[in-house]
Amino acid sequence: MSTFNVELKRVVDDTYDIEIGYDLSSKLVSDIDAGLVGNIRKFAVITDTNVKDGYALPLCEKIKRAGYAVDLFVFPAGEKSKTRETKAKIEDAMIEKHFRRDCCIIAVGGGVVTDLAGFIAGTYARGIPFINYATTLLAAADASVGGKTAVDTPVATNLIGLFNQPAKVYIDIAAWKTLPKRQMSSGMAETIKHACMASCDMFKFIEENLDDIFSFQKFACEYIAENNCRIKYNVVMKDERESGLREILNLGHTVGRAIETVSDYKLLHGEALSIGMIAQAQLSSTLGYMSDEEVKRVTELYERAGLPTKIPDYIDREALVKKLYTDKKVRDGKLRFVIQKGIGDIVEFAPGVYAKPISEDLAREIIMEI
C-alpha cells in the first residue's frame, strides 16, 4: 500500500468594490468595458418579476448596445421562489441558451435575487463570476454584501448554499424610491440590526433621521448605505466563513428566520427579523445585558419604521419553538442565541464565542411574551 500526498495550498484574493450611488447601470457597463470581469462577452442577467421592467430590461439594452451578448432570466418575485427548483430552472434555461464557462451572471434585484443568482454562479460550470446590482435597501444592507448565497428548503431558510464573493456590488439608492413602503421598512430591519450590534452612533442617527430616510434625503440614505457596508465589512473581513465572529450578523435571526418560515412567508424577511430582534432584546434584558429603557428604544424604533414587534396571532407558538431547532447556530441539539449588549454592542461570552446556549423553556417563555 502507498500514499501519494497531494499538496494544494490556495491563496485567494476575493477583494471587490461596493459602489454606492444613483442610477448606476451605465457605470456597470463602463466597468465591464474596462475589464471588470476580464474578456467575458456573454452575460446572464437574473432578476425577478418585480424588477424586470424597471431595471433589468433597460440594463440588458445597455449591455447589448455596448456590443455584448446578453440574455434575461426571470423568476416570480418573493421568498417562495428561492428554492432548488427555481435554481434548476434557471440553470436549465442557461444551458439551452448555450451559456458555458465564458460567461458572467448579473443579479439585478433584492435579496432573493442576489442570494439565488450568487448560488447559481458558484455552481454553474463549477463557478463563474457574478455582479450584484442591488435595487432594495434589504439587499444593500445584507444580502448583496458578504458572499453568503443560498436557497431555502421546507425545513429552514438558507439551508443549502455556499460562500461566493461577487466581482463587484452596485448599490443604487435611486431604486429605493420605487419600493413599496412595506419593502423599504423591511430593509430598515437589517439596518437597525446593524446599529444595535455595532454602532450606538448609527442607532442615534436613525432615531433622529428616520423621516429623512423614508423621504429619501440624500445625506440620510447615503449614511445608512455606507454604514451598513462598513459594519458588515468589519465583520466579514475577520470571519468570512462564519467560524465565530460572523455569527453576530445573525442577531435576531434565531427567532426571526423561524417566524419567517412558520408564517409561510406571509411576513417579509425584515418583518420577521423585527420580531426576532425584539425577542432577543427581551432575552438580553432577562439575562441582564440590556436595560428596560434600551429594550424600549429598540422596540419603538422598529415600530416607527413601520415594522411589527409582536408575533401575529395566526402563528402557532409551539410550532415556532420547534422551528428554532433548524437554526444553523444549533450545536449538539441545543439552541444558541447571539445576544445584544446595550445598544451598539454584542456579548462575547468567551474569546471568539458570540452565541450562548439557551434552554428551550426560556426561549418558549420569551416567545409567549411577545
The C-alpha torsion from 40 through 41 and 47 to 53, rounded to 10°, is: 150
Amino acid symbol at 350: A
Asked if residue 189 lies in contact with residue 274, where contact means CB atoms within 8 angstroms, the answer is yes
Q: Any idea which fold 17-178 has?
A: Rossmann fold (3.40.50)
The CATH fold assigned to 186-369 is Dehydroquinate synthase-like, alpha domain (1.20.1090)
pTM of the model: 0.92
Per-residue pLDDT 10s for the chain (370 aa) are 889 998 888 777 888 999 999 999 999 999 999 999 999 999 999 999 999 999 999 999 999 999 999 999 999 999 999 999 999 999 999 999 999 999 999 999 999 999 999 999 999 999 999 999 999 999 988 766 778 899 999 888 899 999 999 999 999 999 999 999 999 999 999 999 999 999 999 999 999 999 999 999 999 999 999 999 999 888 877 766 666 788 899 999 999 999 999 999 999 999 999 999 999 999 999 999 999 999 999 999 999 999 999 999 999 999 999 999 998 888 999 999 999 999 999 999 999 999 999 999 999 999 999 9
Within the chain, all domains assigned CATH 1.20.1090.10 are found at 186-369
Q: Give which of 91, 87, 226 is closest to 149, Cα–Cα.
A: 87
The SS3 call for residue 72 is strand
- Count CB-CB contacts under 10 A for residue 8: 5
List the Cα angle 45/79/170 in 5-degree steps.
Answer: 40
8-state DSSP, 246: G
List every span in the chain annotated with CATH 3.40.50.1970.
17-178
Tens-place pLDDT, residues 63-99: 999 999 999 999 999 999 999 999 999 999 999 999 9
Closest to 51 in 3D by CA, of 31, 81, 16: 81
